[in-house]
A = this chain, B = another copy of it.
Amino acid sequence: MPATDEEDTWVWSQIKAEAKRDAEAEPALASYLYSTILSHSSLDRSLSFHLGNKLCSSTLLSTLLYDLFLNAFSSDSNLRSAAIADLRAARERDPACVSYSHCLLNYKGFLSCQAHRVAHKLWTEARRPLALALSSRIADVFAVDIHPAARIGKGILFDHATGVVVGETAVIGNNVSILHHVTLGGTGKVGGDRHPKIGDGVLIGAGATILGNVKIGEGAKIGAGSVVLIDVPPRTTAVGNPARLVGGKERPSKHEDVPGESMDHTSFISEWSDYII
Residues of A within 8 A of B (CB): 22-23, 25-36, 38-39, 45, 49-50, 52-54, 56-64, 66-68, 92-96, 98, 102, 105-108, 127-130, 132-133, 135-136, 139-143, 145, 147, 160, 162-163, 165, 167-168, 179-181, 183, 185-192, 194, 205-207, 209, 211-212, 223-227, 229-230, 239-245, 248-249, 262-266, 269, 272-273, 275-277
Across the interface, do B60 and A53 meet the contact criterion of CB distance under 8 Å?
no
Q: Within the assembled complex, what's the spacing in Å between the Cα atoms of A183 and B143? A: 16
Least Cβ distance of A118 to chain B in Å?
A: 12
Across the interface, do A133 and B29 meet the contact criterion of CB distance under 8 Å?
yes
Least Cβ distance of A258 to chain B in Å?
A: 11
Contacts of A275 in B (CB 8 A): 242
Across the interface, do A63 and B52 meet the contact criterion of CB distance under 8 Å?
yes
Least Cβ distance of A159 to chain B in Å?
A: 9
Selected A-B contacts with CB under 8 Å, 9 pairs: A53-B63, A105-B136, A106-B132, A106-B133, A163-B180, A187-B263, A207-B227, A209-B225, A223-B227
Q: Within the assembled complex, what's the spacing in Å between the Cα atoms of A58 and B244? A: 47
Across the interface, do A63 and B49 meet the contact criterion of CB distance under 8 Å?
yes
Across the interface, do A108 and B136 meet the contact criterion of CB distance under 8 Å?
yes
Contacts of A130 in B (CB 8 A): 26, 28-29
Q: Within the assembled complex, what's the spacing in Å between the Cα atoms of A12 and B276? A: 48
**Set B31, B179, B206, B207: member contacting A35, Cβ < 8 A:** B31
Kindly list 15 other residue pairs between chains A and B, CB separation below 8 angstroms, not including A32-B59, A165-B180, A188-B264: A27-B34, A53-B58, A56-B58, A63-B66, A94-B189, A106-B133, A162-B163, A163-B181, A181-B207, A183-B224, A185-B224, A187-B266, A189-B263, A207-B207, A225-B241
Across the interface, do B165 and A145 meet the contact criterion of CB distance under 8 Å?
no
Q: Give the oligomeric copy count.
A: 6
Q: Within the assembled complex, what's the spacing in Å between the Cα atoms of A182 and B168? A: 21
Least Cβ distance of A142 to chain B in Å?
A: 7
Across the interface, do B53 and A54 meet the contact criterion of CB distance under 8 Å?
no
Q: Within the assembled complex, what's the spacing in Å between the Cα atoms of A27 and B56? A: 17
Least Cβ distance of A229 to chain B in Å?
A: 5
Least Cβ distance of A167 to chain B in Å?
A: 7
Q: Within the assembled complex, what's the spacing in Å between the Cα atoms of A189 and B68? A: 35
Contacts of A242 in B (CB 8 A): 239-240, 272-273, 275-276
Least Cβ distance of A206 to chain B in Å?
A: 5
Which residue, of A63, A94, A147, A163, has the highest number of chain B Cβ atoms within 10 A? Answer: A63
Least Cβ distance of A103 to chain B in Å?
A: 10
